[in-house]
Amino acid sequence: MTQAHVEMENRTVVSEFILLGIPNTEGLENILFICFLVFLLCSLLSNLLILAAVLADSRLHSPMYFFLCHLAVIDLGCSSTTTPKLLASLLANNRAISLGGCMAQLFFWHFLSSTECLIYTVMAYDRYVAICHPLRYLLIMNHRVCTLLAAGSWICSSFHATILASLTFTLPYCGSNVVDYFFCDIVPVAKLACADTSVLRTVTFTNTVVVPLSCFFLIFMSYIRIAVSVVKMRSAEHARKAFSTCASHMTVVCFFFGPCFLLYTQPSLSPVVATRIQIFCDVVTPIMNPLVYTLRNKDVKAALKKLKGG
């Protein structure tokens, strides 16, 4: 038996990880706990209200609101993936997470983020068809097509997350178990592996950079075509309505893709900056979808009022 094999056998196999949490927050744990708890409750309540309003009002049974419901489900999942463990670590200083819990965090975070990315792309296509081909809109975006697009987004994302989680946790972890982050993500966890991670880095780059960039390019091209159609509209009222229907989607797309590009295309970001960006994605962004769509959409506000009256 070689010396390398003996050293590997003598190492302790990691069965749990220690999350270091948010850097430079000593003494602020109670304040942060209250803030994150308020954001979590607001996210859960607002997204549940959006789901209830769309399901209860037949006027909102259209492709755009069908995909908005999927976004609400995704945001409910995102709020529940990392924030509860962060709250536990702030309140009880319980920073340990089991190997299975770490794997679940990584899987569901990438599963839901990937699904959100694809749903935003599908919604851009929906807006493109609605504005550029209004007479054929109901024919193109029929119930079957919408269901297939949504199901395809969830299924493709499940494969994406399964591949990343499998590659990450088939690596041997036999040294330090301290994760320099507030939840289990690929980069901070893979740093602890006592094996070559080049394959994981290549697949991660493809799945978390190339694929989202492709989706963003498709969204961008959709809005270029929409802008051309809006410019050609003779009626200023129709142009205003077309822009209004796209403004909410463009806003949430910017909130989603902006932080993600910073996180995965700038590896030199300091842990403090990266953590703040990630917290924005995990804690603040899930509130943005219901907030933006409610404030800018008369139909949703009317449905919420009807739901309250009922």
> Does 41 fall in a domain?
yes
pLDDT for residue 10: 41
DSSP code of residue 134: G
> Does 213 fall in a domain?
yes
> Does 289 fall in a domain?
yes
User: For 68-92, what is each residue's pLDDT tens digit?
Assistant: 899 999 999 988 898 999 898 888 8
pLDDT for residue 77: 92
> Does 252 fall in a domain?
yes
> Does 1 fall in a domain?
no
Contact 289, 68 (CB under 8 A): yes
User: For 50-65, what is each residue's pLDDT tens digit?
Assistant: 888 888 887 888 898 8
> Does 193 fall in a domain?
yes
What are the angstrom distances between the C-alpha of 64 and each of 119, 122, 202, 250? 11, 10, 35, 14
Confidence of residue 232 (pLDDT cuts 50, 70, 90): confident
pLDDT at 291 exceeding the cut of 70: yes
Q: What is the CATH number of the domain that holds 196?
A: 1.20.1070.10
Q: How many domains does the chain have?
A: 1
| Cβ-based neighbours of 139, under 8 Å, separated by 6 or more | none
Identify the sign of the CA torsion 30, 32, 33, 35.
Answer: positive
User: For 8-24, what is each residue's pLDDT tens digit?
Assistant: 444 457 788 999 888 87
Token pair 């919408």 is found at 146
**Domain assignment of residue 73, given as a range:** 14-309
> Does 6 fall in a domain?
no
What are the angstrom distances between the C-alpha of 251 and each of 28, 48, 181? 32, 21, 28
Cα dihedral 68, 71, 72, 75, rounded to 10, equals -160
Number of Cβ within a 10 Å radius of residue 95: 17
CA 104 to chain centre: 15
* Out of 39-43, 151-155, 305-309, least confident range: 305-309
